[in-house]
């Protein structure tokens, strides 16, 4: 058996104009054009999208889940970044 598996691509779909592209899954394709076409057939058979992005999976770099706690820690103790941290008198409107 030859080693000729098509590369893996991650598929992102914009479900409608004005929304972000969102990751929906992955597929195999020989090149980008085929990946877009396959993505249409696999992920938008019922008008789920108006635009497709494909990215070869090997190009995706991710944060390490084992270090997630430390990695996201800096945001954990900064409650003052949220509007609910501040007491606004009841009589103040439009804030």
Partner 1 sequence: METPTLAPTPEEQFQARIDADVRIEPKDWMPDAYRKTLIRQISQHAHSELVGMLPEGNWITRAPSLRRKSILLAKVQDEAGHGLYLYSAAETLGTTRDQMLADLHSGKAKYSSIFNYPTLSWADMGCVGWLVDGAAILNQVPLCRTSYGPYARAMVRVCKEESFHQRQGFEVMQTLCEGSAVQKEMAQESLNRWWWPTLMMFGPADDASPNTEQSMKWRIKRFTNDELRQKFVDMMVPQAEFLGLTVPDEKLKWNEARQAYDFGEVNWDEFWSVVKGNGMCNHERLQARVQAHEEGAWVREAALAHAEKRQAREAVAVAA
**Within 13 Å of residue 86, how many CA atoms lie on the same side as its CB?**
8
Using the rule CB under 8 A, give the single segment among 14-22, 58-66, 74-82, 83-91 that binds partner 1: 58-66
* Nearer to partner 1 among residue 25 and residue 58 (C-beta): 25
Q: Please, are residues 69 and 76 in contact by the beta-carbon 8 Å criterion? A: no
Q: Residue 24: which of 42, 6, 47 has the closest Cα?
A: 42
Binds partner 1 (CB under 8 A): choice among 16, 22, 28, 58: 28
Binds partner 1 (CB under 8 A): choice among 17, 18, 20, 46: 46
């Amino acid at each position: 058996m030859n080693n000729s598996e098509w590369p893996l691509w991650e598929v992102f779909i914009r479900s409608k104009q004005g929304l972000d592209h969102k990751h929906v899954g992955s597929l195999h394709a020989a090149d980008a054009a085929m990946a877009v076409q396959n993505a249409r057939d696999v992920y938008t058979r019922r008008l789920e999208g108006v635009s497709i992005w494909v990215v070869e999976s090997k190009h995706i770099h991710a944060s390490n889940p084992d270090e997630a706690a430390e990695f996201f820690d800096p945001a954990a103790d900064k409650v003052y970044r949220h509007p609910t941290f501040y007491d606004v008198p009841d009589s103040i409107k439009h804030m």
